[in-house]
Homo-oligomer: A and B are copies of this chain.
Amino acid sequence: MQKNRISMAVIRRLPKYHRYLKELLEKDVKRISSKELSEIIGFTASQIRQDLNNFGGFGQQGYGYNVEELFYEIGKILGLNRTYNTVIIGAGNLGQALANYVSFEKFGFALKGLFDINPKMIGLKIRDIEIYDMDELEEFIIKNNIEIAYICTNRESAQVTAERMMDCNIKAIWNFAPVDIKVREGVVVENVHLIENLFTLSYFLNNNEE
Residues of A within 8 A of B (CB): 1-2, 6, 11-12, 14-16, 18-19, 42, 77-80, 84, 92-94, 96-98, 100-101, 103-104, 107, 109, 147-148, 171-172, 174, 178, 180, 185-186, 188-190, 192-208, 210
Contact = CB atoms under 8 A, between A and B. Distances in A.
A203 B208 CA distance: 35
B193 A77 contact: no
A36 to B, nearest CB: 17
B100 A93 contact: yes
A208 B173 CA distance: 13
A35 to B, nearest CB: 19
A185 B202 contact: no
A147 B15 contact: no
20 contacts: A11-B203, A12-B196, A12-B200, A19-B178, A19-B195, A77-B203, A78-B199, A79-B205, A80-B199, A84-B202, A93-B96, A93-B97, A93-B101, A101-B194, A103-B195, A172-B202, A174-B197, A185-B210, A186-B208, A190-B198
